[in-house]
Amino acid sequence: MATLKVGDKAPAFTLLNQDGENVSLSDYKGKNLLVYFYPKADTPGCTKQGCSVRDASKELKKLGMAAVGISPDEPGKQKKFDDKYGLGFPLLSDPDHKIAKAYGAWGKKSMYGKEYEGIIRSSFVIDGKGKIAQASYKVKPLDTVPNATRVLT
């Protein structure tokens, strides 16, 4: 699994959001962007992570940072997740894992002694020039926001 480091160019993406609209990295040119990868909508860890980003939205905005979450879930499932918790930011669908792989957020995992491939919970801050300003792999759900804001404060 290739991983991204501070200073690397962020891989471009265009994915469908929970409303079926295309969202691209280029939409955030000139702005800071928190991009986080999560395994599955409406599961305990992913809900904690999404709600923590929602709850920090004012703080992120003050820092000039937008946020997007990316998972393999289809837009309809993302929409239910957003509606249920009022997340209020783009949740992007990456069903073929292409973008997760480009960010190094897809790889081998194990649970109960079984190995499988899946999303490695990860978060990134991308600066206004499209460069990685912060990268965290195997991030804990509630560490996503503090890791991101630390870069800009």
Q: Which of 153, 141, 148 is nearest to 51 (CA)?
A: 141
Active site residue 51: no
Measure the CA dihedral 30/96/116/145, to 10°.
20
Please state whether beta strands 22-24 and 32-37 pair in parallel, antiparallel, or not at all (unpaired). Answer: unpaired
For the chain, state the CA radius of gyration.
14
**Selected catalytic residue, list 23, 35, 46, 53:** 46
Read out DSSP for 4-27? --TTSBPPP-EEE-TTS-EEEGGG
**Catalytic center residues:** 46
